[in-house]
Structure 1
């Protein structure tokens, strides 16, 4: 986590967690905000143990800023989000111009990831200038 107490505004943190909880309900495991220099875990489900390597995850997910640029102009269209599949759940990464969020969940139907990414993207876009 970031060492700064107010790394993420309370409004942004609350909106991201609320959007994720509304979209995936009790299948939400965690929500982490990151930008090019820092990260902060905004939510961790009560039945999970703290101590995940959030900095390591965030460092890996920051590569998405570069990937988004690389994919610009692709015949596949605009880059939207990334899903990573793990034995016990999924990680969905959504990035904006300078900040992003990765959300971990239990198993979900495929279309729910699109809903989740759309909800997170909407919140990030609303906070692009902050």
Structure 2
């Protein structure tokens, strides 16, 4: 069993609860691997998930670079596109990102909080990575 197996059900559930039908896809990742945990049924496989993951992995080290900032502790990142968003959260050595349809930007705090909670819980339970 991998960390992604342990994340699948609780992370998909938490993010679907926070985002609802606007969730397009959900990917969990570590420094070494990744897995697409969810893809909405009306979307076709074939997106460059590995390219997205490569970019998101860069932030494992960058998260600590923000430590001690007068802005406080890093929490999550949202990227806006013409037709939707990418929201990424990292906890320790686990990360996840979700892609969404257009939705109110204020809702991303709830989404990221749900993601971080599941990532933290799975990591604290000592799951194999």
Distance across 1 between alignment mates of 2:4 and 2:99: 21
Specify the alignment match of 2:55 in structure 1: 60
What is the SS of the residue equivalent to 2:62?
helix
Shift of 1:8: 3.6
Which secondary structure state, in structure 2, belongs to the residue aligned with residue 114 of structure 1? Answer: helix
TM-score if structure 2 supplies the norm length?
A: 0.92
1:41-94 deviations in Å (ceiling 9; x for gaps):
000001111111111100100111111011011111000000011121100000
Match of 2:113? Answer: 118
Q: Deviations over 1:5-26 (max 9, x none)?
A: x544433211000001111110
Asked if 1:90 is matched to 2:82, the reply is: no
SS at 1:46's partner residue?
A: coil
* Greater RCO (Cα-Cα under 8 Å, separation 6 or more): 2
Equivalent residue for 2:104, pick from 100, 105, 109: 109
Aligned length: 125
Between the aligned partners of 1:113 and 1:9, the Cα distance in structure 2 is 22
For structure 1, which runs of at least 5 residues remain unmatched after alignment? Answer: 1-5
5+ residue gaps, structure 2, are none
Give the alignment's Cα RMSD to 1 decimal. 1.1
Quick one: which of 39, 43, 56 aligns to 2:34? 39
1:15 matches 2:7: no
2:31 matched to 1:50?
A: no
TM-score (norm 1): 0.91
Displaced runs of 4 or more, over 4 A: none
Q: Give distance in 1, aligned partners of 2:88 and 2:71.
A: 18
